[in-house]
Structure 1
Amino acid sequence: MGEERRTILITGASAGIGAALARECAARGYDLILTARREGPLQALADELQARYGAAAAVLLADLADPEAPVRLVADIAARGLTVDGLINNAGFSRTTGFLSTDPAAHSAMIRVMLTAPVELSRLLLPGMVERGWGRVLNVASLAGQMPATGGDTLYGPIKSFLIKASQGLWLEMRGTGVHVTALCPGYTYTEFHDVNGSREQVSAAYPRWMWMDADRVARIGWDAVEANRPRVTPGVMNNVLAALGGLLPDALALKMVGGHAKRLDRL
């Protein structure tokens, strides 16, 4: 008998970096549990992973804005007889339109999806990983978490900063257990959405090409980092330069550096 395959749970797996990470993990011999809100794209991805890589991929629908979703998701996984050996907290939330002009319910959902759910899923699943002596947790944060917050997307950067710090704390706690924890901090990343909706040329015009990376490359760098047990990884040389500048510059200069962010994106 061959070695038993390990299984990775990916939230927000239907598209973008989540789908790219699913392909990366499947190519490396992992089975997958894919979750998001939309069944069609998840099932299409599951079929692709089976056909291309021979990976088993279970599809479970979940809306992580629902406070009960993490507990229910873990229960559904157990009911299928599946074991979660690794967790990729990737689920995101559509960009808000300014703090005062965004419905407070949307802010609450954003915090649930991007902050609370990763914490709860980690707390639910890490004990099993520690008990088995092997685990991988990859939290998809952002370059924005290493920069001053931007107007118009006021909560996004602070949420991602929390995720980075929480990942570093977990990395310290998990030392010696066989569980690796990494915060992945991508900058601007091209996904298939830019091709499908015809906006690739527009987003390229909003920011220079050197600021953008492809989702497949980001996924490869992220999974290499968690396998190597690096507490944080920021893909791309220039993204690392920007992160360093964001931490070293005085507030006035740093805020000026990011001040035009929301206005440029609003023109897309």
Structure 2
Amino acid sequence: MSLPSRPRPVALITGASAGIGAALARVYAEKGWDLILTARREAPLQALAEELARTGAASTILTGDLADPAAPRRLFDAIRTRGLTVDGLVNNAGFSRTDGFLNTDPAAHKAMIQVMLAAPVELARLFTPGMVERGFGRILNVASLAGQMPATGGDTLYGPIKSFLIKASQGLHLELRGTGVHVTALCPGYTLTEFHDANGTREQVSSAYPAWMWQTADHVARVGYEACEANRPKVTPGVMNNLLAGLAKHLPDRVALGMVGGHAKRLKRI
């Protein structure tokens, strides 16, 4: 399926201010897309838009917090008011809490569910009908290797939320076959981003797990983009990450849970 006949297709990327979201914006711009960038912080989006402009990409900035249940509809309306058409939806916004279920503010858990589960579903429901009508669309849901692994203690809700996103992506992928709309779940493992440089923790996070487990945001973004273009229902960057995901399917629960039991504790120490 070729790109739309308009000069440049447009991709909406949530959580675009840094990390994998910013890396995805760079890849989409490189591939000939214009962008709608959204996140809570305007300054990093402005800086990214200026960077992308040097590649010829035009960026529209719409700030907002997807933890607000009204945010997806507000975003949809703002885009429609500006006369923009969304050809690609990248649901990337997300965060985790590793202090434990009982030590985490229930409001933070509610926000996690809203940002990483409810908002992607609503945004897909809002934008997919137009994509189907036009016969072209791309939906890339940034899930996680954690969604394919046994549950962990400490970041108790993160893995289950990402598992949901993977399954929802696969179901939508099947439903939209033959429409020209591609749906892919991107499942990165540990990814080093500029967040670690900004807060001075790159050395610590790098030592929490072996070097082979870490990937760059640029690599993850490129793998995700190409998988969505190829209409693969799911992609996990990295041979070892795929090995871990496959191994987790076949290990007895007792062994698998023991294998991941120290995950949150290691991250908390950093």
Matched, 1:14 2:17: yes
Deviation string 1:208-261 (CA, Å, 9 cap, x unpaired) is: 000000000000000000000000000000000110111110000000110010
Provide the C-alpha distance between the structure 2 equivalents of 1:94 and 1:164, rounded to a whole number of angstroms.
Answer: 17
Q: How many residues align?
A: 266
Q: CA deviation at 1:149?
A: 1.1
Paired residue secondary structure (1:61):
coil
Provide the C-alpha distance between the structure 1 equivalents of 2:195 and 2:75, rounded to a whole number of angstroms.
Answer: 27
Paired residue secondary structure (1:8):
strand
Match of 1:125 among 113, 124, 127: 127
Partner of 2:178: 176
Q: Which is worse superposed, 195-204 or 134-143?
A: 195-204
Matched, 1:43 2:46: yes
Q: CA deviation at 1:111?
A: 0.2
Letter paired with 1:242:
L
Match of 1:114 among 110, 113, 116: 116
Report matched runs for 1:121-200 at 5 Å.
121-200=123-202
Is the Cα–Cα contact under 8 Å of residues 96 and 155 in structure 2 kept in the other structure? no
Runs of 4+ off more than 3 Å: none
Letter paired with 1:264:
R
Deviation string 1:110-143 (CA, Å, 9 cap, x unpaired) is: 1000000000000000000000000000000000
| RMSD over equivalenced CA pairs, Å | 0.9
Q: CA deviation at 1:3?
A: 4.9
Deviation string 1:1-24 (CA, Å, 9 cap, x unpaired) is: x85210000000000000000000
Deviation string 1:164-217 (CA, Å, 9 cap, x unpaired) is: 000000000010000000000000001011122221111111100000000000
Letter paired with 2:157:
L
Provide the C-alpha distance between the structure 2 equivalents of 1:87 and 1:19, rounded to a whole number of angstroms.
Answer: 14
Paired residue secondary structure (1:177):
coil
Matched, 1:59 2:65: no
Partner of 2:222: 220
Match of 1:204 among 194, 206, 215: 206
Paired residue secondary structure (1:43):
helix
Q: CA deviation at 1:95?
A: 2.2
Provide the C-alpha distance between the structure 1 equivalents of 2:175 and 2:75, rounded to a whole number of angstroms.
Answer: 25
Gaps of 5+ in 1: none
Letter paired with 2:43:
G
Deviation string 1:61-86 (CA, Å, 9 cap, x unpaired) is: 11000010000000000111110001
Provide the C-alpha distance between the structure 1 equivalents of 2:6 and 2:119, rounded to a whole number of angstroms.
Answer: 32
Is the Cα–Cα contact under 8 Å of residues 98 and 267 in structure 2 kept in the other structure? no
Q: CA deviation at 1:94?
A: 3.9
Paired residue secondary structure (1:58):
strand
Paired residue secondary structure (2:215):
strand
Paired residue secondary structure (2:141):
strand
Identity %: 76
Provide the C-alpha distance between the structure 1 equivalents of 2:7 and 2:133, rounded to a whole number of angstroms.
Answer: 17
Q: CA deviation at 1:96?
A: 4.2
Letter paired with 1:223:
Y
Paired residue secondary structure (2:12):
strand
Deviation string 1:139-162 (CA, Å, 9 cap, x unpaired) is: 000000000111000000000000
Letter paired with 1:150:
T
Is the Cα–Cα contact under 8 Å of residues 96 and 158 in structure 2 kept in the other structure? no
Q: Which is worse superposed, 128-137 or 192-201?
A: 192-201
Match of 2:34 among 12, 25, 31: 31
